[in-house]
Structure 1
Amino acid sequence: MKFGPVPVAEAEGAYLAHGRVASDPANPESLVYTIPKGTRLTAQHLDDLTKNDVTDVIVARLEPGDLHEDEAAARIAAALCGPGLEAGEAATGRVNLRATSSGIVVVDAAAIDVINRINPAITVATVPEWARLGPRGLAVTVKIIPFAAPEQDVEEACTRGAGAVRLLEGQIASASLIETSVDAAEPSDKGRRSVKGRLDQFSVLLSERVVVRHRAEMLAKALTDAPGELLLILTGSATSDGEDVAPAAVRAAGGEVLHYGMPVDPGNLLFLGRIGERPVIGLPGCARSPALNGADWVMERVICGVPLEQIDIAGMGVGGLLKEIPSRPRPRDAQ
């Protein structure tokens, strides 16, 4: 691609780099109009520019082997677009990929890095991996910086990035939340409402409320009897150890605890396990708040079918220092 100023008389067929004002002889009520940036200049444009005393313009000229920005962006977007995403129309060298339903985004970060190093003209930006999106949520934007990109570089980007971004949709239809109480009083339904709000984002049906005393044998029976495909536990007293009441109840119900604790704050006191084929998440107390916490990251991946062994809780520490919730018993600033 050639870029730079040329006399107006030589600019036909080139792409205007900066909007310019031109005369419009066909519209006597409006003597001037603006030719937008990126317009492919015609003989009429040149005539109107000349009538407005414009002598030269800055343009881009495509050379053999170049692809126009819109075509280049469209090709790369189509290659990147995995299941659960759809590409929009190309405009000004940009194409967006959006979610077709609710889900979480899986990104081949290495492939995106390769694409962004092929040629500075070609750029791909994504949301963070595992980001939750609703229908029409923006997952990726492909942008060609200049007015064209070399076709061979575009083809390399398409090859390297094939299917690099996809959306995992919800795979679980129902969940049960078992709450425990440390005394005879029934706990507030604030926690249940917050959990239901999270499940509603993926159209997961929450079964009837169950509250049991904070004892391993009672909790184990409630887990066994619960109808949900996903089992959630919200204890009246925090799970302070992998041998505490809630993890012990999972084992007593014939299950196993795969991981206790997480390097995400709020969310440290979470555990992950299974009973038979059903995943179990021991929720931290911060799950009573609708604010983002570590439990969201684990719940979303479980709901969207990520195998439990592939949920890298220990790897969530970078970026895991989240905004503190107002109801926290011991605020960070006080410690």
Structure 2
Amino acid sequence: MTQQPEGASEPHIRRAGSSSVLREVKVEDAVGMLLAHDLTQILPGAFKGRLFRKGHRVVPEDIPKLKDIGKEHLYVMELGAGDLHEDDAALRMAAALAGDRIRYGEPHEGKVTLKSAITGLASVAKEVVNAINGLGDIALATVATHTVVREGEAVAATRAIPLIVPEAKVAEVERIAARYRERNAGASPVDVRPLRKLRAGLLTTGSEVYSGRIADKFGPVVTAKLAALGSEVAEQRFAPDDRQTIVNEIHYFLRQGYDMILVTGGMSVDPDDRTPGAIADAGADIVSYGTPMLPGSMLLFGYLRDVPIFGLPGCVMHDPYTSFDVLLPRVLAGDRIVKEDIVAMGYGGLHRC
């Protein structure tokens, strides 16, 4: 039987079936003992962070600092066989899940944040996330798969719920992650896919723009969206609302060898909107004309001799996030968009701008 330290209370936590013990000790009696968890200091408007790290051995000089953050008692812990401290549990989970383009640092208060090492598209296995969160005592929070993440942004976070975690739970996380890799050619459950740098041809339709009566608003917006993801509009051309002229311009872009073709304007169901029919006449295999997402329901997507081609509705000009912002990163990541991908955009696809 473990002898209780002088000045300690009765065991505060003893997990069922475990020999681990967490003891509450008066601050004055804690000198020489190891802290069971991180201690945070908050100075309103100035600082919030770790004052003492888990495992820190308390010295007499620490007592005033501990009292300054409101600590009259501390917790010291003796881990039993088969148990893990929260930090160790979170760190092992992060190591099991992270892919090659994920970086993470030290645990903090039982949490490890997994961050993207590049700007790319999050690749998160939903079934793995659900399986892990069904185990209890541990948690995994992630962004949705196909989310664009910038370098240094969080993709996921592992978390231990109690201070003491059964090692078997973490070992099961490691098995779940290993099985996923075996079934998916070595791919990791949490990773980021790089975006290709593509050169696009941009065709802006509309007689009012072609004639110079109004200024083009599509070009700057579309150019900025591509540039933000590392691609570029290599050339922009203009066409009136004439079906054959639009077809000719699309074929021109195809001859130039551009990686992607973007056609803007004339995407509604009005009789004088020629763009959807012109894209079809150009020979495109249309995956979908219309998406179950708002804004952006009138977007057209297809392939012309394996070159992705978009018909962009007017909302792309003025709404910050549309169906174009969903599909463009996936094309840049190399995905072959199919009808099922379009259908799936309805769930969570209402964006209140």
Q: Please, what TM-score do these two structures have when normalized by structure 2?
A: 0.76
Q: CA deviation at 1:266?
A: 1.1
Q: CA deviation at 1:321?
A: 1.3
Q: CA deviation at 1:206?
A: 0.7
Q: Report the counterpart of residue 317 of structure 1 in structure 2.
A: 346
**Aligned to 2:203, which of 170, 175, 178?**
178
Q: Which runs of 5+ in 2 are unaligned?
A: 1-19, 42-49, 179-187
| Structure 1 residues 136-171: Cα deviation after superposition (integer angstroms, max 9, x where no partner) | 121111122333422221111122135212212212
Q: CA deviation at 1:38?
A: 5.5
Q: CA deviation at 1:175?
A: 1.1
Q: Distance in 2 between matches of 1:47 and 1:272?
A: 64
| Structure 1 residues 75-94: Cα deviation after superposition (integer angstroms, max 9, x where no partner) | 21122112432223333322
**Aligned to 1:165, which of 169, 173, 190?**
190
Q: Report the counterpart of residue 101 of structure 2 in structure 1.
A: 84
Q: Map of 1:35-114 to 2, 5 A cutoff? A: 36=51, 39-40=54-55, 42=57, 44=59, 57-114=74-131
| Structure 1 residues 260-297: Cα deviation after superposition (integer angstroms, max 9, x where no partner) | 11111111101110100101111111111261112110
Q: Alpha carbons of 1:204 and 1:47: their partners in 2 closer, same or farther (altered >3 Å)?
A: closer
| Structure 1 residues 35-62: Cα deviation after superposition (integer angstroms, max 9, x where no partner) | 956533637469959xx9x996434432
Q: Which runs of 5+ in 1 are unaligned?
A: 21-34, 325-335
* Alpha carbons 2:111, 2:158 under 8 Å: kept: yes
Q: Distance in 1 between matches of 2:114 and 2:301?
A: 32
Q: CA deviation at 1:15?
A: 1.1
* Alpha carbons 1:80, 1:164 under 8 Å: kept: yes
Which is worse superposed, 142-151 or 261-270? 142-151
Which is worse superposed, 169-178 or 267-276? 169-178
**Aligned to 1:156, which of 172, 176, 198?**
172
Q: Distance in 1 between matches of 2:339 and 2:123?
A: 13
Report the 3-state secondary structure (helix = DSSP H, G, I; strand = E; otherwise coil) of the residue aligned with 2:87: helix
Q: Distance in 2 between matches of 1:90 and 1:57?
A: 20
* Alpha carbons 1:88, 1:96 under 8 Å: kept: yes
Q: Alpha carbons of 1:250 and 1:6: their partners in 2 closer, same or farther (altered >3 Å)?
A: same
Q: Distance in 1 between matches of 2:38 and 2:259?
A: 57
Q: CA deviation at 1:212?
A: 0.7
Runs of 4+ aligned structure 1 residues displaced above 6 Å come to 17-20, 241-244
Q: Map of 1:97-246 to 2, 5 A cutoff? A: 97-120=114-137, 122-162=138-178, 163-183=188-208, 184-186=210-212, 187-226=214-253, 227=256, 228-235=258-265, 237-240=266-269, 245-246=274-275
Q: CA deviation at 1:102?
A: 1.6
Q: Distance in 1 between matches of 2:132 and 2:161?
A: 14
Amino acid in structure 2 at the alignment position of 1:185: S
Q: Distance in 2 between matches of 1:191 and 1:37?
A: 54
Q: Distance in 2 between matches of 1:110 and 1:72?
A: 21
Q: Distance in 1 between matches of 2:31 and 2:79?
A: 14
Q: Distance in 2 between matches of 1:18 and 1:203?
A: 42
* Alpha carbons 1:270, 1:283 under 8 Å: kept: yes
Q: CA deviation at 1:4?
A: 4.3
- Residues matched between the structures, number: 305
Amino acid in structure 2 at the alignment position of 1:15: A
Amino acid in structure 1 at the alignment position of 2:264: L
Q: Distance in 1 between matches of 2:275 and 2:286?
A: 10
Q: Alpha carbons of 1:16 and 1:125: their partners in 2 closer, same or farther (altered >3 Å)?
A: closer
**Aligned to 1:254, which of 280, 283, 299?**
283
Which is worse superposed, 285-294 or 9-18? 9-18
Q: Please, what TM-score do these two structures have when normalized by structure 1?
A: 0.80
Q: CA deviation at 1:6?
A: 4.5
**Aligned to 1:307, which of 292, 311, 336?**
336
| Structure 1 residues 107-142: Cα deviation after superposition (integer angstroms, max 9, x where no partner) | 11111011112122x111111222111111211111
Amino acid in structure 2 at the alignment position of 1:262: T
Q: Distance in 2 between matches of 1:254 and 1:93?
A: 56
Q: Distance in 1 between matches of 2:346 and 2:125?
A: 20
Q: Alpha carbons of 1:128 and 1:241: their partners in 2 closer, same or farther (altered >3 Å)?
A: farther
